[in-house]
Amino acid sequence: MFITNVTDFLFMIVVSCNSGKSKRSDVSNDKDEDDEGSVDGGGMFNDPNFKKALKTASQGGIIVGVSKPFKHGDEVKYVVVFENEEKGPRMYFLKGPHYCELLAMRTEDRKTPFAPTNPFTFEETVQGINLRDSPSSTTSRYQRVGTNNKTVEVTIFTVTLPYSERSNIGSVLELIMNDYFKYLFARKRNVNTAGELALNYAKQLLPENAKPGSGLYGHLVQRYGDGNSDTAAKHMTAEINKYWNRDITYVYDCHLDKYMVNYDIKKWVQYNLGATSWDDLDDRCKKACFKSYPKRDIPEWDGIVQESYLSYK
């Protein structure tokens, strides 16, 4: 039979990533007392493993935030965020375009005559954003760290499902993590290792007249290989494999302003929901964007501008 919906697709799929397969824990700790029921992965808010999931996160697992659902016509969209780990490893050298390129190749590899296309999309949406200064803050500035006041980048992507298949979001996310991210970055390979691919991508970013040791590539070769690119790739591979072999905790029902500044929220609803003003969104979508809505007014649409990435005092 041909695959025509997410349910059939999930039934047919055999997850090929045996190494580093995620142990799924579902948590919802971002709900408001006055929130209405949300579209979720099937009762995870009453998950009896709630405390166990929190313990997993505290022990160094990967924490993935999942937004409230955004209904758009016959589809539903979720923003997925790899949360920042202040004390844990940070894959800062794995950039959005690099993810997109590898994930697109993985999608092509997984196609069969019975499933020529995926009934969900996400691969081309992977990107980096700078974190908000604090969750749902009124200031809407970038979080700054260190003596140089650098921004903190996290990776996000958007999952789009048919609205009728919205209850499968939990299973779809598990599939994405196991058969895409973990397949590409947790498995050990003899050729085209994760570190080699990441280092090659950084090298491609260099301008033609780049000085030796400059750019992200020069930084990575020096930090991970003491000037030797082969050694750097080897050490980067070990770090990437270790990172992606950890357990994953999913934190559901998050508001966008937990992570995004107002400008990034505005750009997301423009691109994904076709909005040209806040009036184009219903109250449910506005609430999914801003945790304080409707108790606090939404920022004026035309007054939202992008903050400079440059450090400030």
Question: What tokens appear for 194 in the block?
Answer: 């994760």
Q: What is the DSSP string of 138-198?
A: SS--B-EETTTTEE-EEEEEEEEEEGGGGGGHHHHHHHHIIIIIHHHHTS--SSS-HHHHH
Per-residue pLDDT reduced to its tens digit, 63-109: 999 999 999 999 999 999 999 876 666 788 888 888 988 998 888 88
Q: Which of 228, 257, 210, 216 is nearest to 95 (CA)?
A: 216
pLDDT confidence tier of residue 220, bands split at 50, 70 and 90: very high
Mean pLDDT of the chain: 82
User: What tokens were used for 83?
Assistant: 């949360």
With bands split at pLDDT 50, 70 and 90, how would you rate the model's confidence at 14?
Answer: very low
Residue type (1 letter), 50: F
Q: Is the peptide bond before 299 cis (omega within 30 degrees of 0)?
A: no
Chain segment 114-124, per-residue pLDDT in tens: 555 665 679 88
- For residues 147-159, give the mean pLDDT: 92
